[in-house]
Amino acid sequence: MKLRLNSLSEGRQEIRESLTAAELLVENPPFSHPIAISLQVDKEPQEVKIDGLVTTTATFECDRCLIEFTQELQGDFHLLVTQATKSLGTASDEDLITISPTTSEIDLTRYIYDTLILSIPMKKLCDPACRGLCPSCGANLNFGSCQCPPSNVEKRWTNLHVISNPTTEE
């Protein structure tokens, strides 16, 4: 997605755009819906501040039960585009784009892509309470218990097993 700087008017404005994963050059995209981008652009004579919000829906496989599920992803980014050659202490190098006075557009594709990738959860779960699969028979424990007999506890873990499964005697 390219933003034409010379077509922006002075002051604050909002730009909405929709992209596909192919337009972001994403290989094997988990994004099953279009990617919605909302930009708040504040143009001043020597700089342009860009606040972006990226939203889409992605399809994942649960890390515990292997069921396919969809999840909404949302992330934001903030950029400062400036013609100044001096160092600015308010923005990190990643958030600062220095351009020449003749630059007419900037490409935001990399920032949108990075925002989407960073919004993907490290642990992809269909539900926080997902019980996963039985390690013996592979049954999905979210749909009910399996018919496997309780596993025998090794002798060295019996004391811990007794503590974690107390029995009441009266």
Band (pLDDT 50/70/90 cuts) for residue 170 is very low
29: left (phi over 0), alpha (psi -120 to 50) or beta: beta
Tens-digit pLDDT profile for residues 61-118: 999 999 999 999 999 999 888 876 655 555 556 677 777 777 778 888 888 888 988 9
Tens-digit pLDDT profile for residues 24-74: 776 666 777 889 999 999 988 888 899 999 999 989 999 999 999 999 999
Q: In whole angstroms, what separates CA 37 from the centre of its chain?
A: 14
Query: Could you state, in order of their start, the residue ranges of all structural domains in the chain?
Result: 2-119, 131-170
pLDDT reported for residue 76:
94
